[in-house]
Structure 1
């Protein structure tokens, strides 16, 4: 936007007015820009008086980048602390460098500098010796700020002994090294000690060390576990103890690893897997390997660093033949374990493959069973079989000689229950191939029926109809919820709950609710009464069978009842008369046989 003010100054006072007017325009624009905090736009504003002032703000929505340069450790006296900071848009306004005692306390400003390199002098004699964290905080000209990750150093302005960390996980012979800061020219002897982590009970690992105060820790003499380490320096009658190096895990125990049998024959893309665990440092990686039978040359199928330790591998990249497979696990400490080999597994990519098509979770009536089969040789037949889950007795359903390989199965000829399926391919040449077993299917030819009805007191008075009371209706299978009420998916649905004497029914505006009716056995009201309510559906699994449960919750009473609601004190068992309009996922209508409330008799609601 460009706006021009034209004046004709006739004297010095008029010229002053022009300059003041321009200044006011600039201030107004600056205030408008500042209203939303540290943001800029690319808009330009121009005003013209006796002179022209132009303001343009550059876009900057990105905070600066800042890192703290790690100082040496330990530090003595005055040291230079440096941070690197940049901002690609508005530029760095300033960098503040701060310090605090390691891991605790508030941050103290060492300096604030606006000029690169962003560094300042830290007089460490102003703080007690010890370990400190140092960080940097950068602010750009748009007002955004970023705080760096802190770095750690030790201040040693008096004599101090420092034990270098050998690492978080160690095994075998571990080099240990200590150093003495500000020794004052004195001669020291150093002892390096260990303690079970947190116990503060110290045992010598190396004693009488002279400069350069190093030794080898034979960890095989220690129990696997976590230890604290420290160094103790002595000169004359003076003793100096280092800061504790905590939680060093000794792990000389190799991981456990087992190669999963990939099966045989192997063809196409197959999954190879292993299981592995480690009690101390944890698994670093697991390599799955193969070798041609008779060869000691192992090749890597894949390497995994996290569970599951498995990968898909195209066996067609291997020459046909007999192979062995194994897994090699390495833990974080470096211990390596090789699994037992799974031997004599045939890779044959010239033979057929066959897979059974999953027929579905619930089977009723006559269903289609199908298999997919391929072979480099002509396919003679594909045989489809079933077995009761958990058994090894397989029964033929059909043998198909042409693709697509499928046949009908009359499930009414078998007992209801869980079944497995497989397919067997017979090629014109070569051995037969059996598919993987497909599990998880259940034959359910019993009619859809209600199995239970329950009432739960959700209000303040047992035996009295009131807000919060609820009822649950359960069927023996999953329902087509749209058959309960049109378009319903099981989500929260507003309904009306009608009670007349002993009878309870559910309805809703704009459509029916096919839940049937409930005989409450006892009279809860002398007059008809109506409550608002909500209805939701959920799925529960009982004995491997998914069932639908519908819950109705009473809301506020909307009509009837008056002061004539009864408080029932005599326990009873309700009787539910399900609606025959409801259907299951296979379209079977529900039985209208009455369902008596299960469990001990109680006072409803």
Structure 2
């Protein structure tokens, strides 16, 4: 692997050169000026020239002797060229020496070479414009040959196979001579090996490197009788006859959207220069989808630029010497950018009897069918409700065929290519339970006497399913509302005997609500009827996955009657509740009037 001379792909070098030029162009200070005033007006004056100049040095030829003139061309689209400096440097030294600085066109400098060592030199020019921007030209190469000079021409940084070699001879005059071109392992002390010898002008031959690998150095020698004149050594010529290794990474299947395509590539000698990733549609030709010049050997590609179908993928690696290797093909990978979407419309919170389910579906491959499916909430076993092949996609679900409870629903789209797309799930509750009373409970409130009705005591009526609050009290939506609770002594009603009754009335106490009557099974009031002001609310509770309505009545102060009429029950009792069929569920079904007995352990509540 080459270590002394920098190796970069041309595209990378160009990018670096551009970046370097920009960096060099920025002046340390600009002639631009800025002025302002703090009043109502402000002004800005800026240099009109924000563009660097262009500059090029003219080659004086392959070799020079004595005194020569080096010329340069420079232009500036802005304020104009201020000066041009022409410089020279021995090849490989990196040390530049100014010949002169010229301020008027045509720009040139005299160069006296008589005091310089014979050899190869680079020339360049630097131009500065009146705006302060600077640009440096590309360099040109020449040889100073005031005496006999032999030059080994550089065959390139990296070579392979049969390599054309050449040398140049300057100042030989009529001297009878031949030239030989030699090589050896870079930096070694071994004897030089002739690549070719006995050359006469134009001193060219072919160097067969087929069995070689590594870094080499080259030189040329002029032989004139017993005299030998040698060139400077050209070091670090990498011989690379070994192809790189490359493996195509499996991109997966199916492919859609923007995907990463990648390869792994290595080269033991000159290094990997480029990797091309290619795709081939079944029955078609190979096409490059990206060309890479540096690691990682990967690229992001929009597969929408590829026709849907079955593809093979491969990578081709090329090293700096030009050796190439093609990876093993990754075949039978499908590009499918079919766009399908499906969604189930919200079925509603509660379903009863026959419910209509609808879905929205579309696909660039066409919609073959839409299936609507159900599963118990949180379950993974899906059951088809129906299949529809035409829009609008809908079906009737007879919920009486499934148990009441929570369900998840989804839609499954089958497109024209046979692929399926599944929608997000929607949750609902199926409740076909008949409306009836489920339970009645009373609770002593804060500061209330156990066994005696008083402020903050509550009574809760629970139904088997959700009710329509407006059928309890016209216009009611379940929010807290004022009502009155009537407590009547059972002795006033022959059918109750000693058991008192409780009913909920409107706020005026003029009409009973649709909750029905509670038999308290105890003697809570003397031979009379009393009313309590109260507040009524409705709430929803979930029992075994089903939502039930609870109507809660909280007692306030005594509205009519005397507190001395109230009695305290000293033994535990179990109430019963006879619902009214005035109350309906959300679907308009009336409540059963079957009497419900208070659940739980008998207590003294109120």
The one of the two structures with greater contact order (alpha-carbon pairs below 8 A, sep at least 6) is 2
| TM-score, length-scaled by structure 2 | 0.48
Larger Cα Rg: Structure 1 or Structure 2?
Answer: 2
| TM-score, length-scaled by structure 1 | 0.48
